[in-house]
Amino acid sequence: MGQDQAIGEDAELLRAHLAGDGQAFARLYDKYDRSCFRLIRRLLGSSGAEAEDLHQETWLAVSRHAASFDPRKASFASWLYTIARRKVWDHFRKQKITHLVLAQEDVIAAVPDPGPTPFQQAESRETALALIHAVEALPLAQRETFILFAECELSLEEIAEITEVSAETSKSRLRYARATLRRLLSEREAVHG
């Protein structure tokens, strides 16, 4: 119910923006900018400047195409992350690096899931950085699934719709991503004690 209410609020804010209410767009931006930017930045995995540009392009697209948003088809969050994801993939396409990233997927997918580890939270900046780098090292498909789930808090169905795969595939990707992250962090813990 709370989620439905949030969806209605988002649609209302977008309508207010279309009607000329400048504050409405700012409220919508404040609500989603953090997760949107993190999604873009982690998908890019490298340059912060590029992430800033794509983030701005995403919000410009939201503003320009606000009239085409239909809350009956998807939540605003799904719509926003779809736009953001497409911006990143367009960027990859221009840079011609998509295939290089995707080529690793099969190899990583073969990693078995070792189960939960004692690692419960990012305890220090160093650990946090290590975890971020590990996320950025994931194959792109797993990475976007993981971020959309962990950071953007979307359901697997929503992720499946955004990434244009089945819910089962999304679930597998999420499982592989978690397994890889656990393995990398376990190795790090073993090295650093």
Partner 1 sequence: MVERTPDPIDRAYSDAEKLLHEAGERSARRARVLAAVAQDKAAKHQTSAPRFIPRYGWLVAASVMVVSGYLILRFLPLQQIGSPPTAQTAAVKPAQKNQMTAALSPPAPAPDLVEPAPAGPAPNATDHAPPVTQERAVSSSRRMASAAPPPAKIAPSPPLAAPPPPPPPAIAAAPPPPPAPTPPMAARLAAPMVAAPAAPPPALRTDGSKPMGELATNPGLDELRAAAGAGRTAEVQELLDRHIPVDSTDASGETALMKSVRADQPATAALLIRYGASLDKKNNAGFSARDFAAQVDDPALKRALGLQP
Q: Which residues bind partner 1 (CB under 8 A)?
A: 22, 25-26, 29-30, 33-34, 37-38, 49, 52, 55-56, 59-60, 63-64, 95, 116-117, 119-122, 125, 127-129, 131-132, 135, 146, 149-151, 155-157, 167, 171, 178, 181-182, 185
Kindly tell me which of 27 and 86 has the beta carbon lying closer to partner 1.
Answer: 27
Collect all residues with Cβ–Cβ distance below 8 Å to 158 and sequence separation of at least 6: 74, 75, 77, 78, 148
Identify the helix (H) or strand (E) that includes residue 119: none
Q: How far is the CB of 167 from partner 1 (least distance, A)?
A: 5
Collect all residues with Cβ–Cβ distance below 8 Å to 165 and sequence separation of at least 6: 173
Closest of 150, 137, 62 to residue 105, by C-alpha: 137
DSSP state of 67: G
Q: How far is the CB of 74 from partner 1 (least distance, A)?
A: 16
Q: How far is the CB of 91 from partner 1 (least distance, A)?
A: 11
Kindly tell me which of 11 and 39 has the beta carbon lying closer to partner 1.
Answer: 39
Type of residue found at 77: A
Distance separating alpha carbons of residues 89 and 166, to the nearest angstrom:
19
Kindly tell me which of 97 and 102 has the beta carbon lying closer to partner 1.
Answer: 97
**In the structure encoding, which two tokens stand for residue 63, read together?**
């503003």
Q: How far is the CB of 72 from partner 1 (least distance, A)?
A: 18
Identify the helix (H) or strand (E) that includes residue 12: helix 2-18
- Contact predicate 135/42, CB 8 Å: yes
Q: How far is the CB of 112 from partner 1 (least distance, A)?
A: 15
Kindly tell me which of 59 and 69 has the beta carbon lying closer to partner 1.
Answer: 59
Kindly tell me which of 108 and 150 has the beta carbon lying closer to partner 1.
Answer: 150
